[in-house]
Structure formats: structure tokens, C-alpha cells
């Protein structure tokens, strides 16, 4: 399974970079970012393509859904351990950002905006009892 996911991610990353961030696979279009993060335990550099919602002002929302799995994705643990990360974003290039998990009404508002843009995440949420963390990626001020 891990090899399959890794192969899929590598294909998406390659297509993202070859087409200026536009990915036709799975109709992703310009909705993905590439999250560069550091392994919490290993210290290894990693890259994950993630669906994101850009506010136009320098913040991106991402959701640690793992497509409805019962545990958080590995990248989530990594960015919690090392919140200073970089992303590659369509039309923005490589951007340094800080990851922060949203809580309370701030999380609920962000979740509503994210799922309005990407309703399939509502289905993912129904597949588990785990509440998905919503993470804001913000440019440093």
C-alpha cells in the first residue's frame, strides 16, 4: 500500500512541476500544493501533494483527511513537530509558511469553506469517527 501511495504521489508531483502546478490527473486542476516537510522521527525531507484552498492573500487551508482513514496522515505529525515548512503553489512558486491547526469556531468556519470548495471531504469525514484537523499555512509576517 505505501509503495502504491508513494508512486501515486511521485506521479502527481511530476505532473505538477511539468505543468506549472496544473494537474489533470483526477481533475485536480490548480487545487494542489506540494508540501515540503521534515519527518518528525527520521528528520528526512518529504513532499506530499495536498488539496488546498488559497485565500488570495497568502494563506492556504489544508485538511488532514487521509481520505477518511482512522488515523492522521504522516505529514500531519511531521508539520506538528516542525511547523516551519515550504510549499510549492501554482502561480506562487516556492513559499515559506508556518502550519497551525485551527480550533473552535475558526476551525468550523475554515472547514465549511474547504468543504464548500471540495465536497468530497464531507464523504471522507463520514468514513471515520476521527475529526479531521484543518491546518492553515501562513506566510510569516
Task: Give domain status of residue 39, yes or no.
Answer: yes
Q: Domain count for the chain, please give it.
A: 1
* Residues whose CB is less than 8 angstroms from the CB of residue 38 and which lie 6 or more positions away in sequence, other chains included: 44, 45, 46, 78, 81, 82, 85
Q: What is the pLDDT of residues 118-139, one digit of tens each?
A: 999 999 999 999 999 999 999 9
Task: Give domain status of residue 10, yes or no.
Answer: no
The answer to whether 100 and 138 are in contact (CB under 8 A) is: yes
37: exposed, middle or buried (C-beta count within 10 Å: 0-12, 13-18, 19+)? Answer: buried
pLDDT at res. 2? 63
Q: What is the pLDDT of residues 67-113, one digit of tens each?
A: 999 999 999 999 999 999 999 999 999 999 999 999 999 999 999 99
Task: Give domain status of residue 16, yes or no.
Answer: no
Write out 55-110 in H/E/C secondary structure: CCCCEEEEECCHHHCCCCCHHHHHHHHCCEEEEEECCCEEEEEEEEECCHHHHHHH
Given a cut of 60, whether residue 8 has pLDDT beyond it is yes
What is the value of pTM for the model shown?
A: 0.94
pLDDT at res. 5? 79
Task: Give domain status of residue 4, yes or no.
Answer: no
Task: Give domain status of residue 84, yes or no.
Answer: yes
Owning domain of residue 73? 30-138
CATH number at residue 97: 2.30.110.10
Q: How far apart (Å, rounded) are the C-alpha atoms in residues 66 and 60?
A: 18
Q: What is the pLDDT of residues 19-78, one digit of tens each?
A: 999 999 999 999 999 999 999 999 999 999 999 999 988 899 999 999 999 999 999 999
Given a cut of 70, whether residue 1 has pLDDT beyond it is no
Amino acid at each position: 500500500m505505501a509503495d502504491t501511495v508513494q508512486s501515486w504521489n511521485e506521479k502527481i508531483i511530476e505532473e505538477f512541476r511539468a505543468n506549472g502546478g496544473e494537474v489533470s490527473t483526477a481533475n485536480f486542476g490548480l487545487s494542489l500544493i506540494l508540501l515540503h516537510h521534515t519527518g518528525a522521527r527520521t528528520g528526512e525531507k518529504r513532499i506530499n501533494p495536498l488539496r488546498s484552498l488559497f485565500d488570495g492573500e497568502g494563506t492556504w487551508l489544508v485538511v488532514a483527511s487521509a481520505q477518511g482513514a482512522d488515523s492522521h496522515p504522516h505529514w500531519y505529525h511531521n508539520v506538528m513537530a516542525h511547523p516551519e515548512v515550504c510549499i510549492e503553489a501554482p502561480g506562487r512558486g516556492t513559499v515559506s509558511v508556518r502550519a497551525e491547526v485551527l480550533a473552535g469556531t475558526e476551525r468550523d468556519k475554515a472547514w465549511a469553506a474547504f468543504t464548500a470548495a471540495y465536497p468530497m471531504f464531507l464523504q471522507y469525514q463520514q468514513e471515520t469517527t476521527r475529526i479531521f484537523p484543518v491546518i492553515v499555512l501562513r506566510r510569516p509576517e
